[in-house]
A = this chain, B = another copy of it.
Amino acid sequence: MGVSLKDVAKLAGVSVKTASNVVNDYRHVSEATRTRVRSAIDELGYQPNLTARHLRYGRSGLLGLALPELDVPYFAELAKEVIAVAEQRSWSVLIDQTDGRGDRERLLVSGSRARTLDGLIISPLALGADYFAALRADMPVVLLGEKAAPGTADHVAIDNVAAAEDATAHLIGLGRRRVAAIGHQREPSAGTAEVRLRGYRRALLAAGIRPDPALVVPVDSYHRPDGAEAMRHLLALPNPPDAVFCFNDLLALGALRTLLASGVRVPEEVAIVGVDDVEDGRFSTPTLTTVAPDKAQIAQAAVSMLLERIGGSRCRPRELIAGHRLIVRESTAGRTLE
Contact = CB atoms under 8 A, between A and B. Distances in A.
Given A50-B116, A254-B283, A92 B94 contact: yes
A284 to B, nearest CB: 7
Given A1-B138, A76-B73, A94-B92, A283 B47 contact: no
Contacts of A95: 79, 83, 93, 95
A49 B80 CA distance: 29
B257 A285 contact: yes
Nearest to A62: B94
Contacts of A55: 49, 51-52, 55
A262 B138 CA distance: 58
A280 interface: yes
B97 A84 contact: yes
A116 B69 contact: no
A257 B284 CA distance: 6
A180 interface: no
Interface residues of A, number: 53
Contact of A228 (B62, B253, B283): B283
A60 interface: yes
A93 B97 CA distance: 11
A323 interface: no
Contacts of A285: 256-257, 260-261, 284-285
A175 interface: no
A83 B75 CA distance: 15
Contacts of A338: 261-262
A213 interface: no
A233 to B, nearest CB: 15
A52 B57 CA distance: 11
Contact of A49 (B50, B52, B115, B280): B115
Contacts of A294: none
8 residue pairs, one from A and one from B, having the closest CB atoms: A260-B285, A76-B76, A70-B80, A47-B112, A257-B283, A71-B77, A224-B283, A50-B116
13 contacts: A1-B138, A49-B55, A50-B112, A51-B51, A51-B60, A55-B55, A70-B79, A73-B76, A95-B95, A253-B283, A257-B285, A261-B335, A261-B338
